[in-house]
Structure 1
């Protein structure tokens, strides 16, 4: 029986502002080892990530994602606990073949304890909103609004497991993966999700939110130029919108203004450099665009809660 998570945070911490990210960015927030695959052609609306996880005792904050997230346990077993911010922990015992479905608009906390070994392996699959919307229109009618999928933890569904394994084999195992075959699998999975995992209540349409493919294009550009000055006009141009409409639609999609999101990406990179390299704090600040060490320290403390030197010592 699926252990269903609440899809809204009744107790949202003031210290953790709302954040929604694209699927590709999730590896920046998870402590597990991301398995690097050979370069593959980009397939629109399909993102796959493979992780190897060890036990995580201290809770981690998992951001909400723009696209529905499916997680399939590939190997190993673990006790996975989740909670909305300020809520009670809810546990699920999972092993190979179990899946999670997340479609929440809010961040939540997780921790897990592996069983019978040091690690367990999972596959993340993000289906682009156009795939879900296409399935919704076909099954529910052309005038159907955007659908809300359930949040499910530690359930079993042979169809989901089979299709996700097929996608992994095609996109990771094949030397020359077929975009047509992969997209067909993803479309079949989207239809199954709309048929089987619709939430009881559907939200009102989110008007004027930036489309997922445009959001991905903009956030990729931000990540590639963290050392450059923030340029709203350039980002709006990538989205083919005026600066005013781009800013409003970006915030509706992520909960943050473009400049706030850019700073958040800079701080993610700074934390990585401080933890994984011996580079000086001045060099780290310079790489992400802060020529003044005091300004870098001020922004880092505001966003992270401690100074760069304190973060590195901790």
Structure 2
């Protein structure tokens, strides 16, 4: 199980939710927001969510999300990935099947029991010096049972043997984010993840819809957008901090990705 808590900006630009092997739950811990989702280049679909609402996905294809917070409370969410081995063991115990079932995609759902389990997991993980690994493992198994009992799909499970494991994707993304200001180096990225360049490129694109180099460009521009919104740093310095020594090249890439030159984006 992998858990991460995010305190979100009031307005989040579109970002990719990758397709990985693990089921993903996004649980709203605080605040209220209008959250929009879409398939790549598809139409946006909006849901208004508040404390306790959740998203569930085990989508075989990547998609995009964005949101706008409502009200004064900070919009805070928890991301939780259940490991594939755990999910498979629980599926076999509950259903007697070797392959775990497909799960229905849920957007802005309400589930009191699920919220209670997620709250217990968060409390246990954040307790100072008192967290129990055994208790966490029990909660993770209980959570997997709950998902299979309540959200299993009648559709045949998708083939995920060739999907990129979530921990390898997270390692690759973390490496790219650390190297935003450096030239793209696929060989170094593949070595960090522990895969061949060919297999990393193929599975990374399957997970995110983008090649590693294209994903790096998206991350560079997302960082630049954040700096333009939240700092007074000069546009030239921002461009250099995300890997563009030439201001004209930075402006060209930024406009291609966002539809606006950096100066207009900052004023907006």
2:248 match: 294
Change (3 A) 1:128 1:221: farther
Query: How many residue pairs are counted as aligned between the two chains?
Result: 261
Q: Partners in 2 of 1:75 and 1:269 — Cα distance?
A: 24
Q: Partners in 1 of 2:34 and 2:236 — Cα distance?
A: 39
TM-score normalised according to structure 2 size: 0.81
2:24 match: 69
Q: Partners in 2 of 1:291 and 1:49 — Cα distance?
A: 34
Q: Partners in 1 of 2:25 and 2:9 — Cα distance?
A: 16
Native 8 Å contact 1:160 1:189 kept in 2: yes
Native 8 Å contact 1:127 1:186 kept in 2: no
The alignment's C-alpha RMSD in Å is 3.1
| 1:180-195 correspondence runs (5 A) | 180-195=134-149
Change (3 A) 1:276 1:64: same
**Quick one: which of 222, 227, 230 aligns to 1:276?**
230
SS of corresponding position for 1:70: strand
SS of corresponding position for 1:299: helix
Residue 143 in 1 paired to residue 98 in 2? yes
Native 8 Å contact 1:52 1:119 kept in 2: no
Deviation at 1:223, TM superposition (A): 0.9
SS of corresponding position for 2:202: helix
Change (3 A) 1:292 1:120: closer
| 1:85-234 correspondence runs (5 A) | 85-86=42-43, 96-104=51-59, 105-107=61-63, 114=70, 118-119=72-73, 122-130=76-84, 131-141=86-96, 143-144=98-99, 147-234=101-188
Deviation at 1:191, TM superposition (A): 2.1
SS of corresponding position for 1:245: helix
TM-score normalised according to structure 1 size: 0.70
SS of corresponding position for 1:275: helix
Deviation at 1:211, TM superposition (A): 1.3
Native 8 Å contact 2:17 2:65 kept in 1: no
SS of corresponding position for 2:131: coil
Deviation at 1:220, TM superposition (A): 0.8
Deviation at 1:233, TM superposition (A): 0.5
Q: Partners in 2 of 1:169 and 1:198 — Cα distance?
A: 27
1:32 match: none
Q: Partners in 1 of 2:245 and 2:62 — Cα distance?
A: 34
2:257 match: 303
Residue 49 in 1 paired to residue 5 in 2? yes
Q: Partners in 2 of 1:226 and 1:81 — Cα distance?
A: 27
Change (3 A) 1:191 1:220: same
Deviation at 1:231, TM superposition (A): 0.9
Partner deviation per Cα, 1:155-183 (whole Å, 9 max, x = no partner):
44333122111111112243453344323
Structure 1 residue ranges without an equivalent (≥5): 1-44
Q: Partners in 2 of 1:87 and 1:269 — Cα distance?
A: 23
Native 8 Å contact 2:29 2:78 kept in 1: no
Deviation at 1:204, TM superposition (A): 3.1
Native 8 Å contact 1:61 1:110 kept in 2: yes
**Comparing both structures, which one devotes a greater share of its residues to helix?**
2
Q: Partners in 2 of 1:310 and 1:182 — Cα distance?
A: 48
Residue 240 in 1 paired to residue 194 in 2? yes
Structure 2 residue ranges without an equivalent (≥5): none
